[in-house]
Structure 1
Amino acid sequence: MTQYKSKFDTSIKAKHFHPKYWGTWCLLFLLFIFSYCPVRLRDRFAAGVANFIYSKKFLNKRKKIAFTNLSLCFPEYTEEDKDLLMRKNIKALAQITLSLGELFWRSQEHILNRTNITGEQYIIDAEKQGKSIIFLGPHCYGVDFAGVAGINARGYPLSSMFNDYKNPIFDWFVTTYRTRFNDAMGKGTLYHRSEGLKPVIKSLRDKAHFYYLPDEDHGRKESLFTDFYGTQKATLPIIGRLAKLGRAVVIPFYTSYNDKTAKYDITFHAPIEGIPSADELTDTQLMNQAIEKLIDEDRSQYMWTLKLLKTRPTVGEKIYK
């Protein structure tokens, strides 16, 4: 089968060296330097930065969103509980952000050595059975290391979606490292969310696995409300359709950065039983239950700063004020 190719062009052009982009190029140069720094030294620096910025005003909006999410999901949490979790959250964000240059500039051997993998046998078994895989993961900060170092660099062809950053330099940087190992396998691609599900299904049928992060809020029109911890969440009910049409199994996984070992812990779990079923709501509930179990592996590294619960069961209710 011919591999689907995205119509979005994220390559670098001469115009991208205009002075208005020099700040972005400087940031990438810093990531280049950090990618070759001793990891533990860089981690200590990132932890110091996180501690310094935690109380700064520019973080207040995101922290308020996170505290709102945590209050709805875990009503038993005290303010101190939420504050402690978010301090760990910002620390992990800083450490992971400063490591992203490794995915672009460092060798395949290097980035493989930056991960501890558990449960890879589930991937091997699925491939032996001739199944494509939907890798189901929540929005944790280590998502890029999971896709590149945990899956793609290990020889598993992978497709996924992207949202552009409205900055062509970042688009080029991110899409390049996310696809750097696909050419060697001759399959797998990256395409824009606006292109819909057709490329997902084509890729899955061509045995290019799909990296799926389903936990963003896409609005009321296309979503179903299902339980999510102590509240309800608007969720796209497409996991069963993707599994059926793509002839795929759904393997949940989670990634967290372990600053004690200075490596990424990536855990793959057994395929979710019951997906696809004959009912979209059942499939969606099974998916969210799996997502909860994954987040519970390390709640402090989930992206609580996203507006995960913006669409509420009660029309007109606004929680992010």
Structure 2
Amino acid sequence: MADKSTKDLTLKQLLAPKYWFTWIVMGVTYLISFLPWQAKQTLGKYLGLLVYKLAKKRRHICDVNFKICYPEMNAQERESLTKAHFISAGKGLLETFDAWYQPASKLLPRVEFDSQDVVDKALEAGRGCILISGHFSPLDLCGTLIASHLDLHPIYKRQNSPVFNWVMEHQRKKVYSKTIERSDMREVLKSLKQNKPVWYAVDQDYGRKHSVFAPFFGRKCATISHIGRIAKMTKAPVLLLDYGRTKTGYTYRFSEVPDYPTDDDVINATIINQLMEKAIENKKEQYLWSHRRFKTPVNQGDPSPYDTM
């Protein structure tokens, strides 16, 4: 059963003094969202550089991930890519508030999108479709932009901050006809039955219980196993959603995932990870390298690669 949402909490409940600072921060981000696009890109760059200086633990996680995924990189190259990642993440944070507070129409002229026919074809059978993607820094904004063309139902994870989560859920409700908390499988099946695209970001470690181990950049890691099962159960086609930031705006496109699913969960997870690798290749800095992608060891009890600092 899905966890209880915070979107039904009243403002009175969330106006307690312990939440005041968070509300002030949310107010500032609302004002920032009205800045010109290029100004926000510049501000996001310097915000990212500030976090890069302060977030030693996250820098370490990035470095470990680069050692695993790009063993040919030297220390200087890893440091340069880590810094670029934080800059991209800073921009992505401000883009999130753009997605929440500003109409998508303001940024649509900056979007390159040319694969609506792929989605239309996938929906012809009336079984909906499953969109899979990775976690890249402009995720929230690109989702909002895509929703201008497509009635997609994204899967999301609730945040720890009640105020942040309340604002997030209320603002997303203005963009999407429906959002689905990641544990709510009943709503996923209902959306597919209604011939809607359901959007999963498939590249995070959700632990041993919900995963199989499949190679990602040559190293086995916990990869969610239920995408193939849902596709097999519903016969919904699976599409790759590849999106990202360019120098002047954003790009996103869809492509079919052929020969998917198979009858093997590990093969299905391997296909997903290979697709993520290809999506990452031409925009490495935008990927969420500060996530502990390899935190669950194949052999239970083995140390995490992130344990040493």
- Cross-structure match for 2:57: 61
Q: Note the alpha carbon deviations across 1:113-150, whole angstroms, 9 max, x for none.
A: 34322433211222234341211001111221222212
| 2:296 is the counterpart of 1:311 | yes
Counterparts in 2 of 1:190 and 1:53: CA distance versus 1, 3 Å: closer
- Cross-structure match for 1:186: none
- Cross-structure match for 1:124: 120
| 2:27 is the counterpart of 1:29 | yes
- Cross-structure match for 1:265: 251
More divergent stretch after superposition (208-217 vs 170-179): 170-179
Q: Note the alpha carbon deviations across 1:244-278, whole angstroms, 9 max, x for none.
A: 223311111222222x21x122232x211111222
- Cross-structure match for 1:175: 169
Counterparts in 2 of 1:11 and 1:110: CA distance versus 1, 3 Å: farther
- Cross-structure match for 2:15: 17
Q: Name the TM-score, length of structure 1 as normaliser.
A: 0.87
SS of the counterpart of 2:260? Answer: coil
Which structure 2 residues correspond to residues 214-225 of structure 1 after superposition, within 5 A?
A: 214-225=202-213
Identity %: 25
Shift of 1:280: 1.9
2:274 to 289, 300, 304: 289
Counterparts in 2 of 1:128 and 1:257: CA distance versus 1, 3 Å: same
Shift of 1:40: 1.0
Q: Which runs of 5+ in 1 are unaligned?
A: 184-188
- Report how many aligned residue pairs link the two structures: 304
More divergent stretch after superposition (111-120 vs 161-170): 111-120
Tell me, in whole angstroms, the C-alpha distance in 2 between the residues paired with 1:31 and 1:182.
21
Tell me, in whole angstroms, the C-alpha distance in 1 between the residues paired with 2:116 and 2:84.
28
Shift of 1:79: 1.1
- Cross-structure match for 2:226: 238
- Cross-structure match for 1:50: 48
Is the Cα–Cα contact under 8 Å of residues 52 and 59 in structure 2 kept in the other structure? no
2:138 to 137, 142, 164: 142
Shift of 1:153: 2.0
SS of the counterpart of 2:256? Answer: coil
Tell me, in whole angstroms, the C-alpha distance in 2 between the residues paired with 1:19 and 1:89.
35
Cα-Cα RMSD? 2.1
| 2:179 is the counterpart of 1:190 | yes
Shift of 1:159: 2.0
Q: Which runs of 5+ in 2 are unaligned?
A: none
SS of the counterpart of 1:293? Answer: helix
Question: Which runs of structure 1 show a deviation greater than 6 angstroms over 4 or more consecutive aligned residues?
Answer: none
Q: Name the TM-score, length of structure 2 as normaliser.
A: 0.91
